[in-house]
A and B are shown apart, each in its own frame.
Chain A
C-alpha cells in the first residue's frame, strides 16, 4: 500500500487546485476521481452551459442585426453542432487539467473512493482490482449533484441539467421546474433558440435572495423580450410524463411541454465515501461541516466545496481548496470568504458581490444606493446594449462600499472591479475620484459612485423629496 502526504477525493474546481497546491508545497499527492476531471463545473456546469450560451447569444444577436445596420438572412442553428462544439471545448479544458496534474507530479487514481479508517482508503475502479491508499491528510472534494426529488416521474423526458446538456436535439417546448439560477440560465439559453419556455417557481420571485431591483430587471426582460412564461409563488402538481411529453397543473391551469427540466437545487455527494469509517458524519442536510480552516471533525481530514454546503460556486471551492491544501501541509491559513462575487449568465447577465441592499439593511446599516443606467452610457449605446444598470450599496454613515450589483451586457465581467473595491474597503467618494477610461462599460461604476453622493454628472439630479 502506497502512502501519500495528501489524498484529494474529487477532481473538480476545488479538488484539482488543492492537489496542485499541495504538490507545490512539497507533499506527495494522490487525486481520486470517479468520473471526469474538472468535476461538475467543467463537464456539466459552468463551462458547457457558457459554451452553449455563447452560441445562443450570437444567434440572438444575428437575428437582431438589423438594428445595427446589418443585413443577415437565412440564419439558423444546428443544435447538434453546438453540442459538438461544447464537447470539444470541454475536452480541451479537461486535457489541460490532466496535463497540469501530471506536470505537478500528482498521482491520479480513477475510481470511487471509500474511507476505511481516518488514514486509509480504497479506490474501486468501474472494473478491475481495487487499490488501497494510505493518507496522512485527506481532502474531501466530492461536490454536489442535481436534486431529483421523488415526486418527479422517472422518465426520459424528465431530466436535470446534466442530462439536459447531453441532448442531441433541442425540444420545442420546455417546462423548467425551479426559477433559481440554473433554471433561469437554461430558460434564457433555450428561449434564445426559439424554445417556448415556462418557468414554475415555488417562491414569490425568480432567483430569490438577489437584489430586488436586479430581479425586476431580469424578470421583465425574460418575460417581455424573450417571451418566457414565469409562474411564481406556485407549485407544479399532478406531474405526469410519457413518450409524448410532460404534463402538470399549476393552480387551475394545465401546463405541458416536450420536456421537463428539474432545477431544484443541488445535493452533496457522499454516497460510497463511507464517512463513518473515518469517524465523520454529515449534518441534517447531508453536508460535511468544516471550520474556518476547512477542517472536519477528524483532525487529518479536510472538506471543501459543494459537499460542505455554504456558497456553492466553483471559485469558492477553488479558494477553499487552496486554503485546505495549505493547512494540510502545515501552513495555517483561514478562509477569506467575505467577498465572493457571484455571476449569473442569464440574458441580461447579472453580477453581484458583497451585500445586497436588503442584506445591508438587515445588518442594521443606514444604506444609500447609487444607481446608473447603461442607457445613459455612451459605450453601451454604441455597442447596442442599452439595457440594465449597476448599483452600489454603501454605508450612509461611512460612505464605505458594502455591495454592488450589475445587470446588463458584460455584467459578469464588470463585477470584478466591484469585488476588488469592496474588499479593499474603498469609499464611494474614492471610487468616484478614480479615473475610468472613456468610452468603456466600466465607466458606469464611477458614474454610479457619483450617483451615491447624489451628484451624477450624466444623469438628471433626482428631485429633492
Chain B
C-alpha cells in the first residue's frame, strides 16, 4: 500500500517548515523509527521519524523548500508500487491575520493544538485518480464526532492523527490505529490520573510518569496541568506589548555611573531627626528634574522621523505591584519644590499600591525613573517607556570600597544606568546627563539650600 508522508505540525505557532535534509533517498528501505528528514522552523531544526516500515518511493518536496504543514512531502510503500501523480505543493501563501472563515461543512473543524512531538503522518490512500495533495487550508482539522469522542475518552490529543476519511478527515478507525501504534495498551497510568487527564484535556502520551516503574500518577497530571499555558492578565499583556514595542523599535544605548551617596544618606538622616522625612527617591526625582531642565534634549521623544521636545518635565515613577508594574506621573515636576515632589510621590505611590490610580495619572510622562534600590541589586538596565527618550534605572546603595583622595575608603555607592533612545541621544549627551544627576546628588550644599 502506498502511503503519503506529510509535514507534521511541530509547535504551537508554526505554520510552515523547511525540509533542510532528506536522510533517506528514493528507493531506500525505511524501518519504523528511522529518521526520514530534518525540518527547520523559526525556532529549531527537528528530526521526523517514520511510523511504519517500507521503502521511500518518492520525494515530492526537495531539500531547501518551505511548505505549509500537512503538505505532502513524499510517498512510502513497497518497491514497484504505482505512485499517484502529484503536483508540487505551492510555497506557503502570505500570512493572513484574520482566521480562516468557517465553512458550513459536514465535518467538525477545530483549531489544531500543538502536537506533542514531531511525527510523520500516515495516510492510507487507494491509488485513486484524484491525487492526495495537501489540503488547501492546512490549519483546518477534520474529525468525525465518533473519532473525537474516542480521542477524548482515551485522553489523547487527536491532532497528530492523520485521517483516512474524505478530505483527510480523521475517523474512528484512525484513532484506533493511532492508539495501537503508540502503544496505548502498554501505557502505565493510574485510573484517577487518567480520569483527571481526560477531564483537563491533557494528552496522556505527553505525561512523564514518576510512580513506580514510570507509572503516571495523579501528581504527574497535576504537574502537567500546572504547566499548561494560561492567558496572561490584561495588565501583563499590555506590559508585554509595550515593552516589546519599545525594545524592538527604539535602539537602546546604556551608560552607567556610580554615585557616592554617603553624604546624602547622612543628610537624609539628619533631616529625619528633625522631622522631615524625605526618601532617597525624592532626591533622585529632584536631581533628575534639574538635569532634564539643563539638558532638555533628553526630555524629548522621536518616532524616527520627527523629534518632539517637551517643555515641561512629566516625571514617571515606576512602582512595582504584585501583579506587575505601573508608572504614575508627577506632573510638571520642574515647577515643584523638593517638598512638593515628596508629597506628590508619596501620594501617587500609595494610590498605585492601593490600585486606585486613574488612567490620567498614568499617562503623559516624558521621562521615567525605575528604582530597584530596595531590592538589593548592584546594577540593572531598564526598557524605555514608549513615547519617551530615556529611562533611569536606579540600583541599591551598597557599602563599597572606593578610592577617595588616593585612599581606599568605604563609601555608600549607588549605581544608575540610563537607557536612552540612541536615535535621539548621543553617547556624549547621555554621559553628560548621568553625570549631571550624579553631581547634584553628591553636592550636599545644593540640598541644604532646598530644604
In contact, B190 and A398 (Cβ under 8 angstroms): no
The interface residues of chain B lying within 8 Å CB-to-CB of A103 are none
Interface segment out of the listed A154-162, A197-205, A425-433: A425-433
If the complex has contacts A425-B191, A425-B192, A426-B190, are A397 and B218 also in contact, measured as CB distance less than 8 A?
no
Q: How far is the CA of A424 from the CA of B195 in the complex (A)?
A: 13
Q: How large is the interface on B (under 10, 10 to 19, 20 to 34, 35 or more residues)?
A: under 10
User: For the complex, is B353 an interface residue (Cβ under 8 Å from A)?
Assistant: no
Smallest CB separation, A363 vs chain B (Å): 12
The interface residues of chain B lying within 8 Å CB-to-CB of A427 are 191-192, 195
The interface residues of chain A lying within 8 Å CB-to-CB of B217 are 425
Question: Which B154-198 residues have C-beta < 8 A from chain A?
Answer: 190-193, 195-196
Question: Which A381-398 residues have C-beta < 8 A from chain B?
Answer: 395, 397-398
The interface residues of chain B lying within 8 Å CB-to-CB of A395 are 192
User: For the complex, is B199 an interface residue (Cβ under 8 Å from A)?
Assistant: yes
User: For the complex, is A455 an interface residue (Cβ under 8 Å from B)?
Assistant: no
Q: How far is the CA of A395 from the CA of B222 in the complex (A)?
A: 14
Question: Which A426-446 residues have C-beta < 8 A from chain B?
Answer: 426-427, 430
Chain B residue with Cβ nearest A428: B192
Q: How far is the CA of A427 from the CA of B217 in the complex (A)?
A: 13
Chain B residue with Cβ nearest A400: B192
For chain B, what secondary structure do more than half of its interface residues adopt (helix, strand, loop), or is it mixed?
helix
The interface residues of chain B lying within 8 Å CB-to-CB of A426 are 190-192
Chain A residue with Cβ nearest B199: A398
Q: How far is the CA of A424 from the CA of B189 in the complex (A)?
A: 9
The interface residues of chain B lying within 8 Å CB-to-CB of A397 are 196, 199
Chain B residue with Cβ nearest A336: B212
For chain A, what secondary structure do more than half of its interface residues adopt (helix, strand, loop), or is it mixed?
loop
Contact flags A384-424 to B (C-beta < 8 A → 1, else 0)? 00000000000101111100000000000000000000001
The interface residues of chain A lying within 8 Å CB-to-CB of B195 are 398-400, 427
Q: How far is the CA of A395 from the CA of B221 in the complex (A)?
A: 15
B196 in complex: contacting residue of A400, A401, A424, A430, CB < 8 Å: A400
Chain A residue with Cβ nearest B190: A425
- The interface size of chain A toward B, counting residues with CB under 8 Å, comes to 11
Chain A residue with Cβ nearest B196: A398
Question: Which B218-235 residues have C-beta < 8 A from chain A?
Answer: 218
Q: How far is the CA of A57 from the CA of B422 in the complex (A)?
A: 91
Q: How far is the CA of A79 from the CA of B403 in the complex (A)?
A: 89
In contact, A425 and B218 (Cβ under 8 angstroms): yes
In contact, A424 and B190 (Cβ under 8 angstroms): yes
Q: How far is the CA of A399 from the CA of B195 in the complex (A)?
A: 8
Chain A residue with Cβ nearest B189: A425
A430 in complex: contacting residue of B191, B193, B199, B218, CB < 8 Å: B191
In contact, B199 and A401 (Cβ under 8 angstroms): no
In contact, A400 and B218 (Cβ under 8 angstroms): yes
The interface residues of chain A lying within 8 Å CB-to-CB of B199 are 397-398
Question: Which A348-404 residues have C-beta < 8 A from chain B?
Answer: 395, 397-401
Contact flags B190-210 to A (C-beta < 8 A → 1, else 0)? 111101100100000000000
Smallest CB separation, B189 vs chain A (Å): 9
The interface residues of chain B lying within 8 Å CB-to-CB of A424 are 190-191
Contact flags A139-161 to B (C-beta < 8 A → 1, else 0)? 00000000000000000000000
Chain B residue with Cβ nearest A430: B191
Q: How far is the CA of A397 from the CA of B191 in the complex (A)?
A: 14
Q: How far is the CA of A400 from the CA of B196 in the complex (A)?
A: 9
The interface residues of chain B lying within 8 Å CB-to-CB of A430 are 191
The interface residues of chain A lying within 8 Å CB-to-CB of B191 are 424-427, 430
Q: How far is the CA of A398 from the CA of B195 in the complex (A)?
A: 6
Chain B residue with Cβ nearest A395: B192
The interface residues of chain A lying within 8 Å CB-to-CB of B192 are 395, 398-401, 425-427
The interface residues of chain B lying within 8 Å CB-to-CB of A401 are 192
Q: How far is the CA of A425 from the CA of B193 in the complex (A)?
A: 7
Smallest CB separation, A403 vs chain B (Å): 13
Smallest CB separation, B230 vs chain A (Å): 18
Q: How far is the CA of A400 from the CA of B221 in the complex (A)?
A: 13
Q: How far is the CA of A398 from the CA of B192 in the complex (A)?
A: 7
Most buried by A among B191, B217, B218: B191
Q: How far is the CA of A299 from the CA of B30 in the complex (A)?
A: 52
Most buried by B among A395, A397, A425, A430: A425
Smallest CB separation, A404 vs chain B (Å): 14
Q: How far is the CA of A185 from the CA of B356 in the complex (A)?
A: 61
Smallest CB separation, A221 vs chain B (Å): 34
Smallest CB separation, A231 vs chain B (Å): 42
Smallest CB separation, B391 vs chain A (Å): 42
Chain B residue with Cβ nearest A402: B192
Spell out B's residues near A (CB within 8 Å): 190-193, 195-196, 199, 217-218
Q: What are 28 pairs between A and B in contact, CB < 8 Å? A: A395-B192, A397-B196, A397-B199, A398-B192, A398-B195, A398-B196, A398-B199, A398-B218, A399-B192, A400-B192, A400-B196, A400-B218, A401-B192, A424-B190, A424-B191, A425-B190, A425-B191, A425-B192, A425-B193, A425-B217, A425-B218, A426-B190, A426-B191, A426-B192, A427-B191, A427-B192, A427-B195, A430-B191
Spell out A's residues near B (CB within 8 Å): 395, 397-401, 424-427, 430
Going nearest first, the 3 A-B pairs with the smallest beta carbon separation are A425-B190, A400-B192, A425-B192
Add 18 more A-B contacts to A399-B195, A426-B191, A427-B191 (CB < 8 A): A395-B192, A397-B199, A398-B192, A398-B196, A398-B199, A398-B218, A400-B192, A400-B195, A400-B218, A425-B190, A425-B191, A425-B192, A425-B193, A425-B217, A426-B192, A427-B192, A427-B195, A430-B191
